[in-house]
Structure 1
Amino acid sequence: MMLVELSSVPPAALAVAGFKDHLRLGSGFADDGLQDETLEGFLRAALAAIEARTGKVLLEREFRWTVTAWRDRDRQALPLAPVSAIAAMVQVDRHGTRIPVTASRYTLQPDQHRPAVVAFGTSLPSIPRGGHVEIDLLAGYGPDWSDLPADLAQAVLLLAAHFYEYRSDAALHGNSMPFSVTTLIERYRTVRLFMGGRS
């Protein structure tokens, strides 16, 4: 199984101005935008770290999930959340021939922690021998910063500020997150066993 990000978070969706306020950086100067690219990088790093820790996609974007075997024939948990749409499903044989699967054969079962694709009928489409199925997903809380739950938005700002503060001393942060960040994201973390099978 492989998950690929097909689109990225656009710069306009990142709260660079809010991050500046959070850091209490000066404003009204000719070089106000000088650090914008650097601040955007810290925001993206914080987003990625929190997404990895929680299994949640914060800002909306497209993904392609390649599946070589279904865990259950009638229902397959998806590897991330929240998922708002399944854009397409395609069977790919070992020669690379692509056969689109009609949307009437499956549906999305939304869930904030363990969304799933569920069969209409007895089973999900078969996976060709030596081939795979590709599922294109739209995942995330929404396209704009304002779509984020307040606690997750605050966690991103706090972690990005931590990265910014200790940007010259990597030894200070290692693999751990500040306690304030882990506290804010704790309720979003889920235990995933075998790709989040039946719960």
Structure 2
Amino acid sequence: MDYSFTVSGGSDPVTLAEAKAQMRVLHSNEDALIERIISAASRHVENRIGRNLVKRTVTYKREGFPRGGVPVVLPRPPVISITSITFVDPKGDTITLSPNDYFLAASLIEYWVLPKTAWPLAARGIPSVTIVYESGYGAMDSDVPEDLRHAVLLLVQHFYAHRSAVMEGPAVVTPMAVDALIEPHKTTGWI
């Protein structure tokens, strides 16, 4: 089964002021650099745990629906709401499913969308199903679990202190504390 997803929108889970306080930076000469580092650190944590931190829009495309009532696992949980599910039928027509035709379900680590009866027949051999949804812990940085926000701050501090991709001397690795903070939030599989 072929699939792809893109993530757009949203903000970062820590502010410039929080990052500067973490690093004890008192000037504004490098604010633009620090903001880029915050974004990089945020994406790094999101990619490591397979989750969006702050509310973002995910567009998930896949080749057809599973047969029968099998659920579709949605990448980048936690899912806040489903915006739309569209599909191309075998005749080539694009159809939007009614929200009355499906529902969202969740476990501790995965979110699924399931049909209320059975999935319709979609074209095969192309990405014929598109599911658009909002995911993340919430719209505000304060909605993100504090341990994940702290992991982002530690990474910002690390990336700020180690700006070069190549260094003389001993190798510098990502702080172990970051791994300890994000481990409980990791998803399984490809999501």
TM over 0.5: yes
> 88-97 vs 177-186, which deviates more?
88-97
CA drift of 1:124 comes to 2.1
**Structure 1: gaps spanning 5 or more residues:** 27-31
Query: Which residue does 1:150 correspond to in 2?
Result: 146
Q: Is 1:16 paired with 2:16?
A: yes
1:162-194, Cα deviation, whole Å (9 max, x unpaired): 111001354444xx53101000011111321xx
Identity of aligned residues (%): 29
Structure 2 Cα separation of the partners of residues 155 and 15 of structure 1: 13
Query: Which residue does 2:76 correspond to in 1?
Result: 80
1:34-91, Cα deviation, whole Å (9 max, x unpaired): 3222111111111111111111110111010001044553211111210011100001
Query: Which residue does 1:161 correspond to in 2?
Result: 157
Q: Is 1:2 paired with 2:4?
A: yes
CA RMSD of aligned residues (A): 2.2
Structure 2 Cα separation of the partners of residues 86 and 153 of structure 1: 25
Structure 2 Cα separation of the partners of residues 62 and 139 of structure 1: 6
Find the residue that maps to 1:64 and give its secondary structure: strand
Question: Runs (4+) of structure 1 moved beyond 3 Å?
Answer: 69-73, 93-97, 169-173
Query: Which residue does 2:53 correspond to in 1?
Result: 58
Query: Which residue does 1:119 correspond to in 2?
Result: 115
How many aligned positions are there? 184
Q: Residues 119-198 of structure 1 correspond to what in structure 2 (within 5 A)?
A: 119-121=115-117, 123-131=118-126, 132-171=128-167, 172-173=171-172, 176-192=173-189, 195=190
Distance 1:73 1:94, change over 3 A: closer
Q: TM-score, normalised by structure 2?
A: 0.86
Query: Which residue does 2:41 correspond to in 1?
Result: 46
Q: TM-score, normalised by structure 1?
A: 0.83
